Amino acid sequence: MSTLLDGLINLDITDSGYLIAEYIWIGGSGTDLRSKARTVKAPIKSPKDLPKWNYDGSSTGQAPGEDSEVILYPQAIFKDPFRKGDNILVICDCYTPAGEPIPTNKRCAAAKIFAEKAVETEVPWFGIEQEYTLLQKSVKWPLGWPIGGFPGPQGPYYCGVGADKAWGRDIVDAHYKACIYAGIQVSGINGEVMPGQWEYQVGPSVGISAGDQLWCSRYILERITELAGVVLSLDPKPIEGDWNGAGCHTNYSTLSMRNDGGYEVIKKAIEKLGLRHKDHIAAYGEGNERRLTGRHETADIHTFTWGVANRGASIRVGRDTEKEGKGYFEDRRPASNMDPYVVTSLIAYTTILYKP
Ligand code: ADP
Ligand code: MN
Ligand code: MN
Ligand code: MN
């Protein structure tokens, strides 16, 4: 980029008295992200200070052409790591002009579950491990892989370093810092078992905020990969065969699980999750059957299992939790392309509200 362009894009607009708000929403596929920007008067302290807005739903597969307006309700704000200054990213959900959530709006129902008294008093925490694959733009083949061929077998790549083991670290690290800048509770990053695949973790975050933060982190990742000319894939099994898939392990605890005697509460919660295995699998992401094969550190999609320190189980309890008699557990079933609003609220529903 020329230095003049560079200077212009980094102009500080704080003195104008306005800021730029990038309104972000989930598109018609349920996983694609869309966004557009508007100028608003500064300061903005909460989503309530922002106006509702609208977009053409017929262009995102979310409304018919003859009645195309979809309304955006601002729900959560983050600092914008791209425009910096006072500028913000705004996570929105989508409604008809009559005020009904449209079918792809999964946030609305999730927020209702998290607003239930019994759920709220349990202060549910979520730590979500987002795995993803970076693809070469022109051929849609993983970063670092020879075009038309394969790298050496898995083994050296997990948490690996070196030019023949890790590809895309600049993107991963840029994303890490951008998320922290934005106000997202990223807790870490690591290289994954399949080369070209990476992970970051968001959390522990409370209730609906986990979903807002994960969606915002995905948006930032799409923007950074766009800049880098690399394609982001959230496919749960991007490459067939002896290659690890991509998941979105969801770590979970309630107040009672974190307190003394919590391990007993955890075991009861796991029992309830087992009773509703099918309902959870149905909500845990498209194409997950290609990933949950019982191989490559997964449990078979048809069987519910749990165990301490068992990475081949549906649910894993950590050694520390067992030892201390309290803590959290990990639901290993969700796919990388899952909707965190759906998954987090379903886990809260089954473990807190559901009565067998
Ligand atoms: P793994 O060993 O499965 O790779 P990670 O370290 O990648 O686990 O992710 C664990 C996630 O769980 C982190 O995001 C962490 O913040 C989160 N976590 C830690 N304690 C709790 C808790 N009590 N409840 C929910 N999530 C938690
Ligand atoms: Mn992890
Ligand atoms: Mn992982
Ligand atoms: Mn995990």
Give the integer Cα–Cα distance in Å for 249 and 238: 17
pLDDT exceeds 90 at position 138? yes
Ligand 1 binding pocket mutation candidate from 126, 201, 319 (most atoms within 8 A of CB): 201
Confidence of residue 1 (pLDDT cuts 50, 70, 90): low
> For the residues 13-35, what does the mean pLDDT come to?
97
Domains and CATH numbers, the chain: 2-103 (3.10.20.70), 117-353 (3.30.590.10)
> For the residues 141-167, what does the mean pLDDT come to?
97
Closest ligand to the CA of 201 = 1
Average pLDDT, the chain: 97
Measured in Å, residue 85 CA sits from the centre of ligand 1 at 31
Measured in Å, residue 35 CA sits from the centre of ligand 2 at 29
Q: What is the pLDDT of residue 66?
A: 81
Residue 126, amino acid? F
Is 122's C-beta closer than 6 angstroms to any atom of ligand 1?
no
pLDDT exceeds 80 at position 65? no
Q: What is the pLDDT of residue 63?
A: 86
pLDDT exceeds 80 at position 174? yes
pLDDT exceeds 90 at position 68? no
> For the residues 17-37, what does the mean pLDDT come to?
97
Is 251's C-beta closer than 6 angstroms to any atom of ligand 1?
yes
Measured in Å, residue 90 CA sits from the centre of ligand 1 at 26
Burial 65-96 (b: 16+ CB within 10 A, else e): eeeeebbbbbbbbbbbbbbebbbbbbbbbbbb
Is 203's C-beta closer than 6 angstroms to any atom of ligand 1?
yes
Q: Give Dmax (Cα) for the chain.
A: 65
Going from the C-alpha of 220 to that of each of 128, 158, 165, 274, the distances in angstroms are 16, 24, 25, 35
pLDDT exceeds 80 at position 56? yes
Is 254's C-beta closer than 6 angstroms to any atom of ligand 1?
no
Give the integer Cα–Cα distance in Å for 31 and 36: 17
pLDDT exceeds 90 at position 296? no
Ligand 1 atom nearest 249 alpha carbon: 3
| Exposed/middle/buried for residue 158 (C-beta within 10 Å: 0-12, 13-18, 19+) | middle
Which residue has the least CA distance to atom 11 on ligand 1? 127
Confidence of residue 184 (pLDDT cuts 50, 70, 90): very high
Alpha helices by DSSP H, listed for the chain, are 3-9, 107-115, 117-120, 169-182, 208-228, 255-258, 262-275, 277-282, 288-291, 319-324, 340-348
Going from the C-alpha of 275 to that of each of 71, 256, 267, 349, the distances in angstroms are 38, 21, 13, 13
Closest ligand to the CA of 320 = 1
**Phi, psi dihedrals of residue 308, rounded to the nearest 5°:** -80, 125
Ligand 1 atom nearest 311 alpha carbon: 3
Ligand 1 atom nearest 252 alpha carbon: 25
Characterise 155 by phi-psi region: left (phi > 0), alpha (psi -120 to 50), beta (else).
left
Note the pTM of the prediction, 2 decimals: 0.98
Percentage of the chain surpassing pLDDT 90?
A: 96
pLDDT digits (tens, 9 = 90+) for 191-247: 999 999 999 999 999 999 999 999 999 999 999 999 999 999 999 999 999 999 999
pLDDT exceeds 80 at position 47? yes
Give the integer Cα–Cα distance in Å for 244 and 313: 15
